Amino acid sequence: MPMQDTQHFDIVVIGGGSGLTAAYYAVKDGKSVALITDRPDAIGGTCVNFGCIPTKTLIQSAEVMQTIRSAADFGITLDQSSVNVDFGRIMRDMRRARTDNAAGARQWVEDTMTPFYSRVRFVGDKLLETEDGRRITGDKLFIAAGARADVPPIDGIEQAGYWTNESVLELERRPASLIVVGGGYIGAELGYFFSALGTDVTVINGSPRLLAEDHDVRELFTREFGKQVALVTGRAVQARAEGGNKSVVVEDADGRTTTVSAEHILLAAGRQPNSDALALHQTGVDIDDKGAVQVDDTLRTRHPDIYAYGDIIGQAMFKHTSSYEGELAYRNSQGGAETVTYRANPHAVFSHPQIGAVGLTEAQCRDQGLDYATARVDYADIAKGKIVGAPPGFAKLIVERGSDRILGFHMIGPQAADLVHEVVIAMNAGGTAGLVRDSIHTHPSLPELVRAVFDGTA
């Protein structure tokens, strides 16, 4: 293939996921934009195609199932054995919605910028090359190439076969049993989906407590989730396929082994930044030993014209975070000097029970030497909590003594992912607990639980 002239753009974006955020603001400013992605079929990236949206669409079916199962608690009886799960339809509807979203995003890209549908790598200073030899450069470059499912070093895993968050979305038939390797939020969400629909799920996790949350939340989540799935603590060290089933050997901290088997294995053991294929050394961009692209607090790499954001920088790996970072990085590339802050960056775990959180955990407050007070109120302690059946769950607040500054807020229970937002706003708008405490809340409502816990630190 003959080498073509280098094409020059005002803005070059690698990545068709949250890369679209920087591209969007550049288009709005009238810039010429090159948008590069190796997945033209999946514009919108992980969130739209293999992450947030498809998994939460599936979890909606799990929630409906949960409501059906608890109907008798509210005086509605039905023959549970007559409830039929059309798994194929649940999966097909999710994939159809996903295809529509990606097609809409692709149309917008093709209407407003210059797409390059290829894997790229750096071949020189600010100089990129596609697989078919096209060369691209620009005034400002953005690296938003994301991350992929990590495959941990489990002996025999490739031969045994496994699903990831991507391939599991292609299923037509629900497995009767499933081993989930990893008890982080992806394992907790997909494990919930399958178990709610009737699959026997075993979750393998390194530590006896699941998730990376405040310790009180982890404690309750592990206890409640453990009623829905089997939990095995230890490291998956070996996998085998035998007689139509798969087995995984788990080794605990003392070297004792347990073998679990199921119809299939789902890997949910972390995310690996996609920096390895980009040859970043060619353009003076650093990565750490885990492959995360190194940026300063304005999201600029060591190269003055190259910014990076999203999962590839390995900070808070959430869609809303990468959108926020993309907007900030774009403004900084155009002369701004804003620093990134994750202080009021919330997250959620859409499992059962549900979790919503923002700010520091108690352990992080201790590590930072902060002088803090905590308060905790259960759902069962407020009127609406009793009305919805007094489910296990609580709101926990951490404030700084003296200043009344909100340091962290953690909820576990119904609608926790939504309820956390008034605290997010309070943290952004000055951050003192009085902002929530002194606001009138509707009675009876679940937000009263949020206010109640703020009262507890007055």
Ligand X SMILES: Cc1cc2nc3c(=O)[nH]c(=O)nc-3n(C[C@H](O)[C@H](O)[C@H](O)COP(=O)(O)OP(=O)(O)OC[C@H]3O[C@@H](n4cnc5c(N)ncnc54)[C@H](O)[C@@H]3O)c2cc1C
Tokens describing residue 7: 């094409």
> CB-wise, 47 or 160, nearer to ligand X?
47
Q: Which stretch binds ligand X (CB under 6 A): 38-46, 216-224, 337-345, 368-376?
A: 38-46
Q: Which of 222, 247, 274, 315 binds ligand X (CB under 6 A)?
A: 274
Binding mask 418-437 for ligand X (x = CB under 6 A): --------------------
Among 31, 39, 218, 246, interactor with ligand X by CB under 6 A: 39
- The answer to the question of residue 55 lying near ligand X (CB under 6 A) is yes
Residue 62 or 453: the one with the smaller Cβ distance to ligand X is: 62
**Smallest distance, ligand X to C-beta of residue 180, A:** 12
Instruction: Examine residue 345 and tell whether it contacts ligand X (CB under 6 A).
Output: no
Which residue lies nearer to ligand X by CB, 186 or 262?
A: 186
Q: Which of 188, 278, 355, 423 binds ligand X (CB under 6 A)?
A: 278
| Spatial distance between the Cα atoms of 85 and 61, rounded to a whole number of angstroms | 9
Distance of closest approach, residue 146 Cβ to ligand X, in angstroms:
2
Given candidates 191, 310, 385, 447, which one binds ligand X under the rule CB under 6 A?
Answer: 310
C-beta of 382 vs 423, nearer to ligand X: 423
345: CB partners within 8 A, 6+ apart = 316, 318, 320, 321, 324, 358
Q: Which of 8, 320, 441, 443 is catalytic?
A: 443
211 binds ligand X (CB under 6 A): no
Q: Is 122 in the site for ligand X (CB under 6 A)?
A: no
Question: What is the distance between the alpha carbons of residues 151 and 118, in angstroms, rounded to a whole number?
Answer: 24
Nearer to ligand X, 185 or 372 (CB): 185
Among 98, 174, 264, 319, binds ligand X (CB under 6 A): 319
Whole-Å CA distances, 357 to 169, 202, 347 = 27, 26, 6
- How far does the chain reach from its first CA to its final CA, in angstroms? 71
Read off the DSSP letter of residue 293: B
Q: Which stretch binds ligand X (CB under 6 A): 60-68, 141-149, 284-292, 385-393?
A: 141-149
Nearer to ligand X, 55 or 222 (CB): 55
Q: In the complex, what is the shortest distance from the CB of residue 442 to ligand X, in angstroms, rounded to a whole number?
A: 27
> Could you tell me which residues come within 8 angstroms of residue 120 by beta carbon, excluding any fewer than 6 positions away?
14, 36, 38, 128, 129, 130, 131, 136, 278
According to CB under 6 A, which one of 15, 115, 385, 391 is a site residue for ligand X? 15
Q: Does 51 bind ligand X (CB under 6 A)?
A: yes
Determine which residue in the list 22, 36, 201, 285 makes contact with ligand X, applying CB under 6 A: 36
Active site residue 421: no
Alpha-carbon distances, residue 89 vs 9, 80, 92, 273 (angstroms):
44, 20, 5, 33
Q: Which range touches ligand X (CB under 6 A), out of 40-48, 358-366, 381-389, 400-408?
A: 40-48
Stretch that binds ligand X, among 1-9, 34-42, 58-66, 197-205 (CB under 6 A): 34-42
- Report the site for ligand X in 143-162 (rule: CB under 6 A): 144-146
Strands 33-37 and 114-117: parallel
Measured distance CA(270)–CA(181) in Å, rounded: 10
Nearest CA to 427 out of 347, 367, 358 is that of: 358
With CB under 6 A as the contact rule, the residue among 18, 101, 247, 345 that binds ligand X is 18
Is the sign of the CA dihedral 34, 38, 39, 45 positive or negative? negative
Which residues, 6+ apart, have CB-to-CB distance to 284 below 8 Å?
125, 301, 302, 303
What is the residue whose two structure tokens read 């938003």? 144
Residues 317 and 147: beta-carbon distance below 8 Å: yes
If you write DSSP's letter for every residue of 148-199 in order, what string do you get? EE-----BTHHHH--B-TTGGGG-SS--SEEEEE--SHHHHHHHHHHHHTT-
Task: Give the integer Cα–Cα distance in Å for 382 and 442.
Answer: 12
Q: Name residue, tokens 């804003």.
A: 338
Scored b (16 or more CB within 10 A) or e, 420-435 reads bebbbebbeeebbbeb
Q: Which residues are catalytic?
A: 443
Residue ranges binding ligand X (CB under 6 A) = 14-19, 36-39, 45-47, 50-52, 55-56, 119-120, 144-146, 165, 186, 274, 277-278, 310-312, 317-320, 322
